[in-house]
Amino acid sequence: MQSVCILGRQSALGLAELESLYGADKLQPVGTQAVIIDVDPCLLAFDRLGGSIKFCKLLTVLGTTHWREIEKFLVKASPEHSKQMPEGKMQLGLSLIGFDISLSQLEATGLTLKKALRQTGRSVRLVPNKTPELSSAQVIHNHLTGPTGWELILIKDGSKTVVVQTVKVQDIASYTRRDRERPKRDARVGMLPPKLAQIIINLAVGTLAEDKLESICEIPAGSTIPRPNLGQTILDPFCGTGVILQEAVLMGYEAYGTDLEPRMAEYAAQNMEWLEGSFQLLTMGVEVEMGDSTSYQWEQDFNFVASEVYLGRPFTAQPTPEMLNQTVSECNLILKKFLKNSYTQMNPGTRLCLAVPAWQTSPGKFKHLALIDQVEDLGYNRVSFKHVRSEDLLYYRSDQIVARELLIITRK
């Protein structure tokens, strides 16, 4: 019962998230955009995975990447599969990952497959491809995860082809609602996407025990029924408008947030009130206070720290070297003071995931905080991953100067 997750645009983040939650030995990367997960599908909390855009069932692995051979296999195997589906018009979609196949070739294969399926007596509609991989929106719009829907994804993995069927895609409507309908937003402090907030939380939490996995899989994130109570608290010491607090609560954690600015603390509190009413949460454990993370004494106990720290000036154009160095120095100092302050207030082994700034100085080249290489001197160990390089844990757009670098550490 192996499953496959199709990773998002910056696949290293999604792969690290999965490794953090389920362990490196349970994962087998497939190409650059997918991973086979050797975990009971019932224990995969897909709604809480910010870095995986599609959840799939592994159908087979072919020992070839030759397109004609792949096409022959699909034409032979698909009619038999269709007999197991309920009656009704079949919606068929094809997606490619890693293949250098033109859209016209893909369409031709789709039409050949459609013809083979129709010979079994089924009515079939082929979903047209605008890109090699159908988007989540296309999958949802065309009901490809419904009883008579079928999205086949063909993933090139070296000399092999992994064939999977999409079971579920990210609930983009819920993400949009949580992102854009909150009453208080502030572009000046950055707009942390809910997906990235989920990744940060999952990287902070680390490997989950099986009883916790069972608990969080019982209720979908954002559900209007009682959420699971995991009995653990997430601290966000730079909470801003409360995006991480919001996602932590929806994932079943208690949430504790502080921010230096009174306005931000008030915004976060109002957004949490909106969340409780909009998602009809019957229970919600959250506390928001005003406090400077470099000196504040947190009154509540917490188990993990998940936060986007101070990112410095929101540059829209490449800064001068002097301006950049000044900003880097400011961010470095604030993070150093925070780590020194929090060290005395957490237990050994406490895990943190911090989104810290990195600056894109030229395409694909970044200036990083010096403190990242000095965390051991402050009493922390940096967490490393088997399947992902730490330097690849960056969230950014190609035209963006200020990126978010995910720093995962534990208190010694």
* Mean pLDDT across 70-93: 92
Domain boundaries, the chain: 3-44+51-169, 173-411
Fold category of 173-411 in CATH: Rossmann fold (3.40.50)
Tokens 């000399």 belong to 159
Would the pLDDT of 402 be above 70?
Answer: yes
Q: Which residue has the higher pLDDT, 228 or 47?
A: 47
CB 228 within 8 A of CB 248: no
pLDDT of residue 222: 47
Q: What is the pLDDT of residues 213-269, one digit of tens each?
A: 666 665 554 444 456 677 899 999 999 999 999 999 998 899 999 999 999 999 999
Q: Of 3.15.30, 1.10.10, 3.30.300, 3.30.2130, which CATH number belongs to 3-44+51-169?
A: 3.30.2130
Chain position carrying tokens 């579920």: 168
> Does the pLDDT of residue 90 top 60, yes or no?
yes
Distance of alpha carbon 351 from the chain centroid: 18
Which residue, 205, 207, 169, is CA-closest to 5?
169
Helix (H, G, I), strand (E, B) or coil at 246: helix
Task: Say if residue 385's pLDDT is above 70.
Answer: yes
Q: Of 79, 266, 103, 239, nearest to 183 (Cα)?
A: 266
Cα 302 from Cα 15, distance rounded (Å): 26
Cβ–Cβ < 8 Å for 17, 7: no
Q: Compute the distance between CA of residue 257 and CA of residue 253 in angstroms, rounded to an integer.
A: 13
What mean pLDDT is reported for the chain?
Answer: 92
Retrieve residue 259's tokens. 């921010």
Which amino acid would we find at residue 402? V
Cα Rg of the chain, angstroms: 23
- Asked if residues 382 and 376 have their Cβ atoms less than 8 Å apart, the reply is yes
